[in-house]
Structure 1
Amino acid sequence: MADNETPEIKEKATSSLMPKLIVGVFIAIVVIAEIVIFFVMVPSADDVAALAEARLIGKVEASMTKDNEELVEEDPNSLEEFPLEEYGLSFVPPGQDRSYRVEFRLFGVVRKKDLERIEKLYGERKNRFRDRMLTEIRNATRDELYENQLGLIKRRILAISNEVLEVDGEPILVGIGFPDYQVFEE
């Protein structure tokens, strides 16, 4: 009886490898199919760039009129510069013996949609604004007034500007700048 059982066990052992082999081949075919689909279906970086460029060109062409003039759509969030006057003052910084003269022009950066509001507000609050600017410059130290430290003064002037020119607690200025800025020791 022992001889009869041995061939059956060998048949079962060889037959049990066949399902494992079929599963392995099936998984390999699925993986290879996914790789082929990936390379065929997913666009390359060049294809994506070309598609984006074509869409951009299409949008530009669609916004042009029939007379080949560009249709200018004004973006209400585009930024505009608004002049905030020229300033010049002589003063003695805290802790110094010498007097200094600071001359600068100031402009504010505002969203296009807020341009009319700031013109009105600045007209109404011009003297308060000027007083706060002069006070801020007078309270600045000598080191803060030099151009390499201008970032600190800019942040403080922007905060003061938004405080004076705000509407309903909303700051109207996005930024400020100095097209001309000079410090003289007198």
Structure 2
Amino acid sequence: MYRQQDNPPSRFPEERPLEADMGIWMVACLLSRCEKAVATEFCAQGMGYYLPLFEKKVRRKDNHKLRKTIVPLFPGYIAFAGAAKDVLTIQNIARVLPVKNQRLFVAELLQIQRILNQGADVRLHARPAPGARVRVAHGPFSGIEGVVISQEKETRLQVGIEMFGQAVSIRIEEMEVEKIR
């Protein structure tokens, strides 16, 4: 387990916008719990990547104290900028998937990046749920598109990454959204 200050950055190079790598994004499917190790190796090789990380709070079973850990938002995946042959020597990569629709992929990554930058309470979902497609009209998430879902007496906006087959959700107020036609 990494100490908080030893975690790799979510984006490498950190100042490089995600759009700058349009056309060369690929997705690496990783062995279980190897996301940060692969990100560290990408950094060492100078290879650009995006690994969305977020702070998860869990109660310890032994003393019930709250513990904060930094974990990957999409376990088992890392997006990288380069060719499949560039990662053949890196351990813990099971396979590499090409990204067919680069524009959609980058748009989805940008939405996830924006949500994480706002510090929203995110929850991971196995796949996007059926429902109305909406766009947030007001507030810090203005312009983000997703699917409205209801969970535990609250309304949430689900935003997915098609290549990962997963999605995250954030709590929203129903009046903040407008339906996309």
**TM-score, normalised by the number of residues in structure 1:** 0.25
The structure with more radius of gyration: 1
Higher helix share: 1
Name the one with the larger strand percent.
2
